[in-house]
């Protein structure tokens, strides 16, 4: 039997909102596997979907740069939040974003690209590490572009121009009025920052994610004794609800919840004066999916003092 710690129970409770004893039981059932425990709780009707954004975040900054019909978002991590407020680190992140905008859409290519102050991006990071005294790393970089239209952008938790805790780009393809498109693009980018969609539409959601959701819906329906034909309808209905929650085009628009994002885009075509295609988006939240080891500060002080 797996050794189930209090920390594991707390992590599962934070991610699901389920009761402590239910979390402990779930972990015992699945030999301590957190993701499997989340599914176990959901099948029992004791938890909602895993809150991926609730994972402990790494520190650092998200950097964003837009020029014409192209934009890029980068994530540069550091060990502490203090570094994010350091002017040298902020300048480094801005510089990396500028380089990434002019480089192939590949994080390794960005690391190897020339940095304006000399050397490569990797050299610039290493130099900052030596000066500031903390480990730093370019974790990811993603570009977005359109042939005609605008790249809308938004930075949440901003600490400076193009820098913050969440960075969003959204691609709107259109030959319409640029100012109207830009205003719409910012509104949608703000929506994405708040609603955190998993994909543009149903077709863009990972097949494994959809299969997992179907399995959970089916098992819950079967557990209630429903016949096969009813289970199938319940799963179909559940998936429709799921897609409304996780796909950008079907989410209720935060600026007007009476309509979906897709409807808001369609209605904006009159102002823009041309058809609009919502072509894609990028959303980087600082430290998404990165587990940071938490320390007991009091215990560390006691240990250092030999208590």
**10: domain CATH number?**
1.10.8.10
Residues spanned by the domain of 88: 59-199+260-285
Q: What is the dihedral of CA 205, 142, 279, 259, to 10 degrees?
A: 70
The answer to whether position 121 is within a domain reads yes
Enter the DSSP assignment of 160.
Answer: B
Query: In the structure, what pLDDT confidence band is assigned to residue 10 with cuts at 50, 70 and 90?
Result: confident
Same-domain check for residues 52 and 65: no
For residues 80-90, give the mean pLDDT: 90
The answer to whether position 171 is within a domain reads yes
In the chain, the number of structural domains is 2
Query: pLDDT at position 290, please?
Result: 64
Same-domain check for residues 81 and 9: no
Query: In the structure, what pLDDT confidence band is assigned to residue 1 with cuts at 50, 70 and 90?
Result: low
The answer to whether position 280 is within a domain reads yes
Same-domain check for residues 21 and 100: no
The answer to whether position 224 is within a domain reads no
- CA-nearest of 14, 15, 39, 17 to 26 is 39
Q: Contact, 77 vs 139, CB < 8 A?
A: yes
Domain termination residue (choose one: 10, 32, 56): 56
Same-domain check for residues 123 and 154: yes
Same-domain check for residues 139 and 170: yes
Enter the DSSP assignment of 249.
Answer: G
Same-domain check for residues 19 and 136: no
The answer to whether position 250 is within a domain reads no
Query: In the structure, what pLDDT confidence band is assigned to residue 18 with cuts at 50, 70 and 90?
Result: confident
- CA-nearest of 254, 57, 88, 16 to 157 is 57
Tell me how far apart the alpha carbons of residues 293 and 279 are, in angstroms, rounded to a whole number.
38
Same-domain check for residues 95 and 122: yes
pLDDT digits (tens, 9 = 90+) for 230-243: 888 988 899 999 99
pLDDT over 80 at 296, yes or no: no
Query: pLDDT at position 223, please?
Result: 82
Query: In the structure, what pLDDT confidence band is assigned to residue 292 with cuts at 50, 70 and 90?
Result: low
pLDDT digits (tens, 9 = 90+) for 101-145: 999 999 999 999 999 999 999 999 999 988 888 889 999 999 999
Same-domain check for residues 147 and 187: yes
Same-domain check for residues 122 and 271: yes
pLDDT digits (tens, 9 = 90+) for 149-174: 999 999 999 999 999 999 999 999 99
Q: Contact, 176 vs 274, CB < 8 A?
A: yes
The answer to whether position 236 is within a domain reads no
- Residue 172 maps to which CATH number? 3.30.479.20
Same-domain check for residues 20 and 71: no
Same-domain check for residues 159 and 140: yes
The answer to whether position 160 is within a domain reads yes
Q: Contact, 286 vs 165, CB < 8 A?
A: yes
The answer to whether position 108 is within a domain reads yes
Same-domain check for residues 134 and 281: yes
Cβ-in-10-Å burial (0-12, 13-18, 19+) of 263 comes to middle
């Amino acid at each position: 039997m797996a050794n189930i710690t209090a920390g594991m129970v707390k992590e599962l409770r934070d991610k699901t909102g389920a009761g402590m004893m239910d979390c402990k039981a779930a972990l015992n059932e699945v030999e301590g596997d957190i993701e499997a425990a989340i599914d176990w709780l959901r099948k029992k009707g004791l938890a909602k979907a895993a809150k991926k954004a609730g994972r402990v975040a790494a520190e650092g900054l998200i950097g964003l740069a837009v020029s014409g019909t192209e934009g890029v978002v980068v994530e540069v991590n550091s060990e502490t939040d203090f570094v994010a407020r350091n002017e040298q680190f902020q300048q480094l992140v801005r510089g990396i974003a500028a380089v990434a905008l002019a480089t192939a859409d590949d994080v390794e290519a960005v690391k190897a690209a020339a940095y304006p102050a000399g050397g490569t991006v990797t050299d610039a990071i290493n130099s900052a590490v030596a000066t500031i005294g903390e480990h730093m790393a370019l974790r990811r970089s993603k570009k977005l572009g359109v042939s005609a239209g605008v790249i809308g952008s938004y930075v949440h938790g901003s600490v400076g121009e193009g820098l913050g805790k969440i960075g969003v780009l959204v691609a709107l393809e259109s030959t319409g009025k640029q100012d109207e498109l830009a205003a719409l693009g910012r509104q949608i980018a703000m929506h994405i920052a708040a609603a955190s969609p998993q994909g543009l539409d149903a077709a863009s959601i990972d097949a494994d994610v959809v299969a997992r959701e179907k399995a959970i819906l089916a098992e819950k329906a079967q557990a209630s004794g429903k016949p096969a034909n009813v289970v199938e309808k319940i799963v179909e209905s559940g998936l429709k609800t799921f897609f409304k929650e996780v796909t950008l085009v079907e989410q209720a628009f935060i600026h007007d919840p009476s309509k979906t994002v897709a409807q808001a885009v369609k209605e904006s075509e009159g102002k823009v004066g041309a058809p609009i295609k919502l072509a894609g988006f990028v959303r980087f939240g600082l430290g998404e999916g990165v587990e940071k080891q938490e320390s007991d500060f009091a215990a560390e002080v006691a240990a250092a003092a030999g208590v």
